[in-house]
Amino acid sequence: MSNVGKKIFVNKTAASRYILLALLSFGWLTVSSQSNTIKHRGCATGTVMEKYFQQHPQEKIAFEKRQQDFQKKYELLRKQKQGIPAEQRVNAVVTIPVVVHILMEDPSQVTDAQVQSQLDVLNADYAGLNADSVNIPAAFKARFGKSELRFCLAQRTPGNAPTTGIERFSTVTKSYPGEGDPVKYSSMGGVDAWNVNKYLNIWVCEMEDDNDLGYTFMPGLGIAAGERGFVNSYRAFGTIGTARAPFNKGRTATHEIGHFFNLAHIWGANSCTASCTDSDNVDDTPNQSTCFFDTPLYPQTDACTSTAPGVMFMTYMDYVDDAAMCLFTVGQTDRMASAMNSFSELTPLLSSNGCVPPLLYNNDVEAQQLISPNNIILNCATTFTPQLLIRNIGSTTLTVVNINTSVDGQTPAVKTIALSLPSLQTTTISGDAITVSAGYHSIKVYTTQPNGASDQFVANDTATNIFSVTGTATAPVSEGFESSFPPQGWGISNTSDVKEYNPVKATNTAHSGGASVKFDNYHYQLFGKSSILNSPQVTIPITADSVKVTFWHAAAQASSSSRDTLVVEYSTDCGQTFLTGYKKGGNDLKTKTD
């Protein structure tokens, strides 16, 4: 949390025009590299589970008790099914709705086709229809399990609007595996989970450690609901596009979803530590000392299983390369089915309607996002053109619609737009230019009369926002932020989609008087984003030899791994370009201990 305080002075008078802008951005203090080759499979599930138990020791006791109770149910199920060949079992297929959140600087790199390739792999692997099942050794073929689990891309949002089940977000936020992973929180530069009782959330992103391919939390933990789901490296997702060999056959998701449905690594819960006392608690997987990497040749034996046919390194729950994996066992599929019916965080997925497309109205337009003004600052401007991203979620082609724009609650300006927008497609529409005065404004933009008729679902027609228009000021400028905020003629904004990240007035600390400006990076850890305070346009005489800016600041780091950066920039072309006059970050910025 940083406070930029009390006063900003700009001295001298008349001629050249300057705009002063202060930005505070947040980031992690890390050193990482992007190599083209991943050394070997890295699943962070075991690490995050152990870290969670270290932070919540009482939860480990509760988790182990739940797992013991589950094991009894699972073993009873196994006894009931004993002697029934896998091909004679009749189980109801359960289809799990999946929503894929793609978070990258350029999320378009992970295409819809790449997402679909991952869904195809999941459905083949869990149904036991994977073509490479021919590679199962003869000694293990009788143990080949075929799960009743299937997966679909969600067809409806939590609000029952139609969807492709794929969301894309441009961000520099990386996954830091564990509780509070920033990719799972919009306030930290990620994206919040959809209703976890109805959807399996998958976050596809860059991992902080290149060798981590993914992770999840196993069921039976007391984690926050928004933590459920799993994270998958964009370099190990699907079979095409950004997926890189040897992890380009979609098996990372197969592996992690196994954990999600309560499968342990085949060698047990430890982190590849050689031991014959650990177990995956599945009766038809041979006891295995430790993990296998790369593409081992069959057969392999170890200290725990020293005779043929040896260990089952080719299951999806080992660490071998994607091409070396080819099966779940019957015991593993039984365990996942038992988990679905035993854990309260999994059971609701059985009744989700997320795979069922919603009924479409004939005429229904969704206002998705204000493109302009979108939480911005207008410098040296008296007009702007409203732009609205809309989606036609009606069943018929949208040929005409009204865009209505109201600033500060005034009578809306209405413009009729002719277009040809097929069902479920998006486009941006623009209203007429609107004149605005200097100050802080609210805006509401909404659609009406799709295809000349009443919109049949008006709850999704409106987008709102706030924006600033900077004014002019005579030097010297002195501002203590004691009165209304932002002061008349000043602008506030930020480079994220979170309006609450804008600078705010703070009255609990000040250099003098009773107020200051707070850039709140403590509660909004939006990596790579900036919160902005913008001065009015100030006229400086052409003969002036300098411009002096004086301010006071107070800052502290939340932890040694995080760093804030404060930048003061100035513009001589009405904010089209800015030059840096001051920049400090991390230890150089802070004025007190962490």
The Cα 511–Cα 534 span in angstroms is 20
CA distance 493 to 592: 27
Q: For 231-299, give the DSSP string.
A: EEEGGGSSSSTT--TTS-SSHHHHHHHHHHTTPPPTT-SSSS---SS---S-TTS---SS---S-PPSP
Backbone dihedral region of 44: left (phi > 0), alpha (psi from -120 to 50 degrees) or beta? Answer: alpha
Which parts of 344-437 are beta strand (E)?
Answer: 365-372, 377-378, 383-384, 387-392, 398-407, 413-421, 426-430, 434-435
Give the three-class secondary structure for 220. coil
| Closest-CA residue to 557 (of 182, 179, 24, 54) | 24
By the 8 A CB rule, do 205 and 103 touch? yes
- Residue of 482, 486, 499, 589 whose CA lies nearest to 535: 486
Measured torsion, CA atoms of residues 509, 514, 516, 519, in degrees rounded to the nearest 10:
50
- Rounded Cα distance, 59 and 54, in Å: 9
3-state secondary structure of 415: strand
User: Are the beta carbons of 246 and 39 closer than 8 angstroms?
Assistant: no
Among candidates 285, 254, 45, which has minimal Cα distance to 150?
254
First and final CA of the chain: distance in angstroms?
11
Q: Is the dihedral of CA 321, 323, 326, 328 positive or negative?
A: positive
**CA dist., res. 230 & res. 227, Å (int):** 8
Please pick, among 256, 366, 479, 569, the residue that the annotation labels catalytic.
Answer: 256
Alpha-carbon span 174 to 183, nearest angstrom: 6
What CA–CA distance (Å, rounded) separates 334 from 78? 7
Tokens (6 digits) for 457: 């679902």
Contact 191, 167 (CB under 8 A): yes
CA 54 to the chain's CA centroid: 25
Is 148 an annotated catalytic residue? Answer: no
Longest dimension (CA), the chain: 96
Half-sphere exposure of 221 (CA within 13 A, CB side): 28
Report which secondary-structure segment, H or E, holds 65. Answer: helix 57-81
Buried b / exposed e across 432-451, counting CB within 10 Å, b at 16+? eebebebbbbebbbbbbbbb
Nearest in space to 505 (alpha carbons), one of 525, 520, 488: 520
Q: Would you state the structure tokens that stand for residue 18, as one six-digit string?
A: 């300057």
CA torsion through residues 62, 66, 71, 72, sign: positive
Q: Which residues are catalytic?
A: 256
